[in-house]
Amino acid sequence: MFDSLSDRLTAVFRRFSGRGRLSKEDVEAGLREVRVALLEADVNFRVARAFVDRIRERAVGSEVLESLTPGQQIVTIVNDELVALLGGETRRIRYQPHPPTVVMLIGLQGSGKTTSAAKLALAVRREGHRPLLVATDLQRPAAVQQLEKLGRDNQVPVALPEGSADVPSVARRGVAEAARLNCDVVILDTAGRLQIDDALLEELRRIRQMVEVNETVLVVDAMTGQEAVNVGTAFEREVGIDGVLLTKLDGDARGGAALSMRETIGKPIMYCGTGEKVGDLEPFAPDRMASRILGMGDILTLAERARQHVDEKRAQEVMEKSMSGRLTMEDFLEQLRQLRTMGPVEGILGMLPGGRKLMQQAGSAMPTERDLSRMEAIVLSMTPQERRRPDIIKGSRRKRIAAGSGTNTVEVNKLLKGFDDMQNLMKALGGKPGKGMRGKAKMLRQLRGLDPSSLGLG
């Protein structure tokens, strides 16, 4: 159902490619596909309509129809327009020259404000500032405890309400506390509220009367549907917001809500939450979101994370080693660990073009975090000699390794077999350069024939 927009488009226009030209009707058919794909990504129907109108104008007005690759041209236009729509630059928290900078998180119930408050605190700290969390959600049971625990676990100070039930004065005391603790960024975690709840909206305005709030950030669930527009518009009108923080982007939501909000209220998406761990908050990048909505993966973020976590020189060494078939279990272990520092497997795969589809196809054959832990355990139960020369591992060694790692010999065999297959494949990839297309074709065949589970990943 969630076929990628670009796939659909290219398919539509490919049908006409033989003719070299596109008729107006062909374009209309393609644009209809664009509209449906946007709607399926939860883009608001009005926004989708306006968007398609703009594409039509550009497509018909330019030389697109006469060009040799009209389909590709239109895909490019769609991409450009998406990026333009999502806003050009990344907008982060603007720190005040005179501290404290006060950030207030607002939003519907369950959008993820408390978790995001903690994540934002860590992001702020990574940028060299000293955050203070203030618990002003006195509505939801245990919300204060939740924030307190998140603060304690991550060494971020938390200002607690201490008996007072008046939210604005709790906020004011929090800001005073920041001065005392020498914190220069204050993050207010407010209670969830409906955008039509007048009494609670008034409470937000009262907070701002008591405290100078510099950034009001609306926290929005990436899975929100057509309603996102009304939520955004109402909060902007009633309270006024400076930007949006998008949560739960680590699922398979296309995040059309982001597009709708940007278009209707014109406020930038500042950050997005991309995982369960407190470190999982990233500055929002419009071009990457465009790729996501189009279903083209998010290679850039992946590359960035890889840069953060992977030692390039070392990776090159391992690559060369494996090409010549001299990869050891130790290298394998190191690669495995590096992969894991980059985040959950499904998150990484999801950033590759077509990765989501691959995951759906793989289904239960997808390696889980648990599988990776078991693989790690197996390698760790090998002696140094075995790790360097896995071919010496025979019957009794297998049994010992299985017992040592708490797995069974079947799993050990699977890992060894997978390692072996990988070695052979890498050798084929690296060996005999200059064989040209035939070598490449053979390699591709081998790649295709490779069952993911044979890598010991199943």
Interaction site with other proteins (CB under 8 A)? 1-2, 36, 39-42, 45, 108-112, 115, 139-143, 145-150, 153, 194-196, 221, 223-228, 230-231, 247-248, 250-254, 256-257, 276, 344, 346, 350, 359, 364, 366, 368-370
Q: How far is the CB of 142 from other proteins (least distance, A)?
A: 4
Q: How far is the CB of 235 from other proteins (least distance, A)?
A: 12
Alpha helices in 62-165 (DSSP H): 70-86, 113-126, 143-153
Nearer to other proteins, 248 or 262 (CB): 248
Q: How far is the CB of 257 from other proteins (least distance, A)?
A: 7
Nearer to other proteins, 133 or 416 (CB): 133
Q: How far is the CB of 146 from other proteins (least distance, A)?
A: 4
Residue with tokens 């990504």: 41
Nearer to other proteins, 110 or 384 (CB): 110
Which one, of 171, 183, 164, 205, lies nearest residue 121 by Cα? 183
**Which helix (H) or strand (E) segment is 225 a member of?**
none
Nearer to other proteins, 71 or 232 (CB): 232
CA angle (141, 145, 148) in 5-degree steps: 150
User: Would you say 154 and 99 are in contact if contact means Cβ atoms under 8 Å apart?
Assistant: no
Which one, of 256, 353, 251, 263, lies nearest residue 302 by Cα? 353
Q: How far is CA 414 from CA 394, 424, 456, in A?
A: 13, 15, 5
Q: How far is the CB of 19 from other proteins (least distance, A)?
A: 28
C-alpha to C-alpha distance for 218 and 264, rounded to whole angstroms:
14
Nearer to other proteins, 114 or 405 (CB): 114
Nearer to other proteins, 295 or 350 (CB): 350
Q: Which tokens go with 264?
A: 């209707």
User: Would you say 244 and 108 are in contact if contact means Cβ atoms under 8 Å apart?
Assistant: no
